[in-house]
């Protein structure tokens, strides 16, 4: 029995309704299927392509077409599929809540490249990309839809291989210096040694510390963090070591400190360079004796805690300046890891963009595929004083405003656009003779991987003069 609104052969309707609306095979359909006599040609074409294709009516039942690739990918034959609801055959993770085909039939708007995972007849998961288009009758009414899905198994497998090579936990990088850190990290994590992580603010020190803990034998035990710079020094001692009842006016009961909470686990002392000399002495005792006395107490408390210290300041220079205890520095500096700023690992920006957008898609339920070429160029040419954290904030802002599949320049924060514009103006004001100087400085800095001491030595100028020129010419 012929379904209302359909002609006898839905392939012909698909050819007419989907002409120039679906990427790939539909454009062939538009050219090949110009009349009823060409319906057979359409079937031949669709059966010969590697993408799965099926047609549904408004009730989402598969009509008389389910091509050979669709059979191979789903595991269901065409006779088994025709007449069934598409979600009983196709079985994707979008079927019940975000069905692209249902959305297309409701709006009349095609959708392109929607990522999804289907479960085939054998129970295997297959990554696919879905494209949909409406089918209309002679009056222009939407009477069904066509779905084209492409097997992405090989692509996803390759992406996972590359991702595994450039990813360690939440750390993402293909920079040579970061790859060296990735290489030693399993051994560092396996040891019980104290670790000192140094790097500029926003470069990922806390994420690295978390990765060390998660890969260590203590992974099942607590990972406790304390930001030494965020807590006043008068309160930091009680926060770290706790206090006993009656230690001060408001001490109504015993309170365990962070060391006790982290017992048998890992304690991250973030921004440890901002602690006072008095507190540094007490930290030294914990590191050496594995015990401390809570505030107001008399009996030492024993703890088994692995310490990871982090600082955005150079502790060795603080020691030389008499600000940081030398004995504590040597206790912390068993294994030192230096994290480079994002400006020195620009090759990681595309990877980080993909990583953050993927995470946001999982959290927010959107399907944003990435950023435009213009946006990526802006990001690649920005100096990122806030490092990875700043990049993440920019992308979160843009993601919140983006209603398209791709983040464009109009979605970026105004402050970021203004900073980029000011830098471009500064570059444009450089005179021709200065341009050659800029080029020479950039080449030397690149050769020495951003090391200003070695670069200044090669250029025959002082480190201060090099720093002044870098600031003047807005170099990275």
- Residue 413: pLDDT above 90? yes
3-state helix, strand, coil in the chain (%, to 5): 50, 20, 35
Taking only the tens place, the pLDDT of each residue in 119-132 is 888 888 888 888 89
Q: What is the pLDDT of residue 22?
A: 37
Lowest mean pLDDT among 86-90, 250-254, 385-389: 250-254
Q: Which percentage of the chain shows pLDDT scores above 70?
A: 82
- Residue 15: pLDDT above 60? no
Q: What is the pLDDT of residue 128?
A: 86
Residue 130 to residue 322: CA distance in whole angstroms: 63
Q: What is the pLDDT of residue 266?
A: 96
Q: How far is CA 99 from CA 73, 104, 149, 329, 431, in A?
A: 18, 9, 13, 58, 57
Taking only the tens place, the pLDDT of each residue in 21-34 is 333 333 333 333 44
Q: What is the pLDDT of residue 1?
A: 37
Tokens read off for 37: 């006599």
Residue 192 to residue 188: CA distance in whole angstroms: 8
With 0-12 / 13-18 / 19 or more C-beta atoms within 10 angstroms meaning exposed / middle / buried, residue 253 is exposed
Q: What is the pLDDT of residue 391?
A: 95
Mean pLDDT of the region 52-76? 89
Q: What is the pLDDT of residue 349?
A: 92
Taking only the tens place, the pLDDT of each residue in 321-351 is 999 999 999 999 999 999 999 988 988 999 8
Q: What is the pLDDT of residue 115?
A: 78
Residue 337 to residue 311: CA distance in whole angstroms: 11
Mean pLDDT of the region 351-372? 84
**Are the CB atoms for 273 and 227 separated by under 8 Å?**
no
Task: Give 129's strand partners.
Answer: 115, 150
Reference 312, options 404, 205, 200, 475; nearest CA is 200
- Residue 275: pLDDT above 70? yes
**Are the CB atoms for 151 and 92 separated by under 8 Å?**
no
How many other C-beta atoms are found inside a 10 Å radius of the C-beta of residue 24?
14
- Residue 358: pLDDT above 90? no
Reference 135, options 14, 253, 20; nearest CA is 14
- Residue 13: pLDDT above 50? no
Lowest mean pLDDT among 16-30, 199-213, 404-418, 443-457: 16-30
Taking only the tens place, the pLDDT of each residue in 391-401 is 999 999 999 99
Task: Give 117's strand partners.
Answer: 127
Better pLDDT: 252 or 36 = 252
Element at 330 (helix H, strand E): helix 326-332
Between strands 266-270 and 306-311, the pairing is parallel
Taking only the tens place, the pLDDT of each residue in 146-155 is 999 988 876 6
Domains observed in the chain: 10-151 (3.30.450.20), 162-340 (3.40.50.300), 343-472 (1.10.8.60)
- Residue 164: pLDDT above 60? no
- DSSP letters, 81-133, are HTTSBHHHHS-BTTTTT--HHHHHHHH---EEEEEEEEE-TTS-EEEEEEEEE
Residue 24 to residue 149: CA distance in whole angstroms: 11
- Residue 226: pLDDT above 90? yes
pLDDT-derived band at 407, boundaries 50, 70, 90: very high
Q: What is the pLDDT of residue 381?
A: 86
Name the packing angle between helices 463-472 and 432-447 (round to 10°): 120
pLDDT-derived band at 14, boundaries 50, 70, 90: very low
Mean pLDDT of the region 5-12? 35
**Are the CB atoms for 57 and 158 separated by under 8 Å?**
no
Write the CB contacts of 98 (distance below 8 Å, at least 6 apart in sequence).
365
Q: What is the pLDDT of residue 426?
A: 55
Q: What is the pLDDT of residue 32?
A: 35
pLDDT-derived band at 40, boundaries 50, 70, 90: low
Compute the mean pLDDT over every residue in the chain, rounded to the nearest whole number: 82
């Amino acid at each position: 029995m012929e379904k209302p609104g359909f002609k006898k052969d839905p392939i012909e309707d698909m050819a007419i309704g989907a002409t120039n609306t679906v990427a790939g095979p539909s454009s062939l359909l538009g050219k090949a299927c110009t009349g009823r006599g060409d319906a057979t040609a359409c079937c031949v074409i669709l059966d010969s392509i590697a993408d799965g294709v099926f047609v549904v009516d408004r009730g989402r039942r598969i009509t008389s077409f389910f091509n050979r690739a669709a059979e191979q990918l789903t595991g269901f034959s065409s006779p088994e599929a025709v007449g069934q609801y598409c979600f009983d055959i196709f079985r994707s993770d979008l079927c019940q809540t975000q069905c692209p085909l249902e959305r297309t039939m409701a709006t009349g708007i095609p959708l392109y490249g929607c990522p999804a995972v289907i479960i085939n007849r054998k129970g295997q998961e297959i990554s696919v990309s879905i494209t949909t288009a409406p089918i209309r009758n002679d009056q222009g009414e939407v009477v069904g839809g066509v779905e084209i899905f492409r097997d992405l198994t090989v692509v996803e497998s390759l992406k996972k291989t590359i991702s595994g090579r450039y990813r360690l936990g939440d750390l993402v990088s293909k920079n040579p210096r970061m790859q060296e850190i990735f290489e030693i990290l399993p051994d560092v994590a396996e040891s019980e040694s104290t670790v000192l992580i140094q790097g500029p603010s926003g470069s990922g020190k806390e994420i690295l510390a978390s990765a060390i803990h998660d890969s260590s034998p203590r992974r099942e035990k607590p990972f406790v963090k304390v930001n030494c710079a965020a807590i006043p020094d008068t309160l930091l001692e009680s926060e770290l070591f706790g206090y006993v009842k009656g230690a001060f006016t408001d001490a109504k009961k015993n309170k365990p400190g962070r060391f006790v909470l982290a017992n048998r686990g890992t304690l991250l002392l973030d921004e440890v360079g901002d602690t006072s000399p008095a507190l540094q002495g007490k930290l030294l005792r914990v590191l050496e004796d594995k015990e401390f006395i809570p505030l107001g107490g008399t009996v030492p408390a024993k703890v088994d805690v692995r310490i990871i210290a982090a600082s955005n300041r150079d502790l060795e220079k603080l020691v030389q300046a008499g600000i940081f205890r030398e004995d504590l520095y040597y206790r912390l500096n068993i294994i030192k890891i230096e994290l480079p700023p994002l400006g020195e690992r620009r090759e990681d920006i595309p990877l980080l963009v993909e990583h953050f957008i993927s995470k946001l898609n999982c959290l927010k339920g959107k399907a944003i595929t990435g950023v435009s070429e213009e946006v990526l160029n802006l990001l690649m040419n920005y100096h990122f004083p806030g490092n990875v954290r700043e990049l993440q904030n920019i992308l979160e802002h843009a993601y919140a405003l983006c209603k398209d599949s791709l983040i464009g320049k109009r979605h970026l924060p105004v402050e970021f656009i203004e900073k980029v514009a000011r830098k471009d103006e500064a570059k444009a004001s450089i005179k021709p003779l200065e341009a050659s100087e800029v080029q020479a400085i950039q080449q030397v800095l690149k050769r020495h991987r951003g090391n200003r001491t070695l670069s200044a030595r090669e250029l025959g100028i002082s480190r201060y003069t090099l720093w002044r020129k870098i600031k003047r010419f807005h170099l990275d």
